[in-house]
Amino acid sequence: MNTLQLNRSDIERILPHRTPLLLADSAVLGSQTVQTVFYVDPDMDIFKGHFPDDPVLPGVYITESLAQCADILLLAMPGNAGRKPLLASIGGMRFFRPVRPGDTLICEAELDTSSPEMSTYECRTCAFISGSSDGEKLKAAQGHITLCLK
């Protein structure tokens, strides 16, 4: 199976998102899967209020990271370039461990079901943080994300 390596500039050509809400630095794109990597910068403004004494990346940011991961997969499919991804639903999202400043957030999305005639796509998603120098990944969240392409 062929994969395509994407850097931040490549991702910006695919996604409509921009800083400060573009939550992917790089990606590896397959035909039915994608993995994104995002460095959780300790200087992100969100940590000034969530929570100053014990900063944690909010669950909505993790969910948005997973949605953007799925967006990359869908927008890279033939016929979908330039379309606008809209979040349609989130199913069974669970959070297992906090994501903190300085962590590397790794998101994975796999196309589960699609209805191109309705422009809807459901993806299984999972987020990890890199756990140690040996490359171990620790699960941070998982759930299903359904997107509609406009």
* pLDDT, averaged across the chain: 96
One of 17, 50, 97, 137 is an active-site residue; which one?
50
Residues 6+ apart with CB under 8 A from 65: 23, 24, 36, 38, 105, 107, 127
pLDDT in tens, 94-117: 999 999 999 999 999 999 999 988
Q: Say how far apart CA 124 and CA 5 lie, in whole Å.
A: 21
pLDDT for the residue numbered 1? 62
Nearest to 71 by CA among 17, 26, 113: 17
- Greater model confidence, 11 or 134: 11
- pTM of the full predicted structure? 0.95
50 carries an active-site annotation: yes
In the predicted structure, residue 132 carries a pLDDT above the cut 70: no
pLDDT in tens, 23-63: 999 999 999 999 999 999 999 999 999 999 999 999 999 99
**Do residues 107 and 66 lie in contact, with contact meaning Cβ atoms separated by under 8 Å?**
yes
Mind listing the domains of the chain with CATH numbers?
4-149 (3.10.129.10)
